[in-house]
Structure 1
Amino acid sequence: MQSRRGLLKAAGSAACALAIPSLVSGRAEAATDALASPRVVRPALLREALRAMERHQDRFAFRDRIAIADFSVPSSLPRFHLIDLESGAATALLVAHGRGSDPGHTGWLQHFSNAPRSNASSEGAFLTGDYYAGKHGRSQRLIGLDATNSNALDRAIVIHSAWYANKEMLSTHGQLGRSQGCFAVAEAALDQVFGRLGPGRLLYAARL
């Protein structure tokens, strides 16, 4: 695992395209070490995400692509990983966490919550749902599959874009703004996220 200084040095841009070996669906343990690297996604976190996909396999219509939100690193770094398990392509983007998870606005997620009106991020496995137009514009519903995020649908925890998740925030504030618990990405990144992820797939969020 890289040190914090090493992570900061590696964060030269808000998005980075990477190449990873292909992963055979259902062979999580065997493929994880080859797939994971500190520049893509941390091995322990990837293992947990793949285990979650196996645990909830009946809920996913597609097992070819997943998203992993690594909340162990600050909001100033690309930590929303879009991973194509078949082609081996991966992209890391900026993503905001909830203000209830970081009340002091430090840029680091301090804790998770599944409680209504907590404005906090939740951890665990999510099933990506349908698209709709809401108060944040185009958004994608998320269904929480674990006890730690079971209220996601009722809390309206979704994927959407926001100005406070744009990379320009880093030059002026050194960190992103905070959401109400949603996975808020840069306005320019929303099409990419929707195009790469789509409904019926896994989004896994954790801080390991």
Structure 2
Amino acid sequence: MAHSRRALLRSALMVAGGAALSSCVSSTVRVAAAPAAPVPLPHVPPVPAAPVVAARSASAPAGVRPELFKRAVAALNRHSMRVPSHDRIAIADFAASSSQRRFHLVNMGNGQVETFLVAHGIGSDPEHTGLLQRFSNQPNSEATCEGAFLTADYYVGKHGDSQRLLGLDPTNNNALDRAIVIHSAWYSNPDMIAKHGKLGRSQGCFAVGQQDLAKVFERLGPGRMIYSAKV
């Protein structure tokens, strides 16, 4: 199974090899695309023959809506053989405004939750209302996509420290080709809410505040699931 998964990843990356490292910028600042360069194979820990799922409460952790948590757990179970680490997951609640802390990092063993601000894509909110209007998996849509993602390797790109994501569902399986990643951005800092009542927008990436990125990377690491939805 691990050999087959690595072969699939390598095949996907051969297609995506010429893509820019990340396409996410704010709605007000455009960064010129970097010259195409070879993209290293994302490193994901090998999948064990039978992943051990951490014990979890039947009820949703505090601060996470029950129906959203239920769907995230179902996604983790559905993709259990493709997600090496089940001890923590991230849940992006895109039913909430960007002014709210809606990126939940959940410890599946004890139910503890850490929550962060996260931006959505320009194409998901063309009028910049602060609310995600739609998802899209289409290239050049500049939109956020929904579904389960697998966190992959870290790299340094035009947005600094970043982490690649692999889409596990038909609704987000273009994530690698679209360079949908986790990175930090000034427009995801809390002072944006004080000034504008909402965050800026990415081009589909999970852009978190500059002071939060290190903690998000530490909690997730490679080989864990992010679930993105609007329920």
After TM superposition, the score normalised by the length of structure 1 is 0.84
Following superposition, the deviation at residue 25 of structure 1 comes to 3.0
2:54/2:87 contact within 8 Å kept: no
Structure-2 residue corresponding to 1:73: 96
Kept in 2, the 8 Å contact 1:32–1:43? The answer is: no
Deviation, structure 1 residue 172 = 0.6
Structure 1 CA distance for aligned equivalents of residues 211 and 217 of structure 2:
12
Indicate conservation of the 8 Å contact 1:79/1:92, yes or no.
Answer: yes
- Among all aligned residue pairs of Structure 1 and Structure 2, give the percentage whose two residues are the same amino acid: 59
Whether the 8 Å CA contact 1:132–1:140 is kept in 2: the answer is: yes
User: CA contact under 8 A between 2:88 and 2:105: conserved in structure 1?
Assistant: yes
| Alignment-derived partner of residue 22 in structure 2 | none
Residue segments in structure 2 that go unaligned for 5+ positions in a row: 1-51
* Aligned amino acid, residue 193 of structure 2: L
What per-residue deviation string (whole Å, max 9, x for no partner) do you get for residues 177-206 of structure 1? Answer: 000000000000000000001110000000
From 58, 64, 67, the counterpart of 2:87? 64
TM-score (norm 2): 0.76
Q: Distance in 2 between matches of 1:202 and 1:32?
A: 19
Q: More strand by proportion, 1 or 2?
A: 1
Instruction: Give the conservation status (yes or no) of the 8 Å contact 1:26–1:54.
Output: no
Q: Distance in 2 between matches of 1:32 and 1:184?
A: 30
2:131 alignment counterpart: 108
1:89, CA displacement in angstroms? 1.8
- Which of 53, 56, 62 is the aligned partner of 1:25? 53
- SS where residue 58 of structure 1 aligns? coil
Larger Rg: 2
- Equivalent residue number for residue 122 of structure 1: 145
2:61 corresponds to which letter in structure 1?
A
Q: 1:142-175: per-residue Cα shift (whole Å, max 9, x none)?
A: 0000000000000000000000000000111110
Poorly superposed stretches of 4+, deviation over 2 Å: 24-28
Matched positions, count: 180
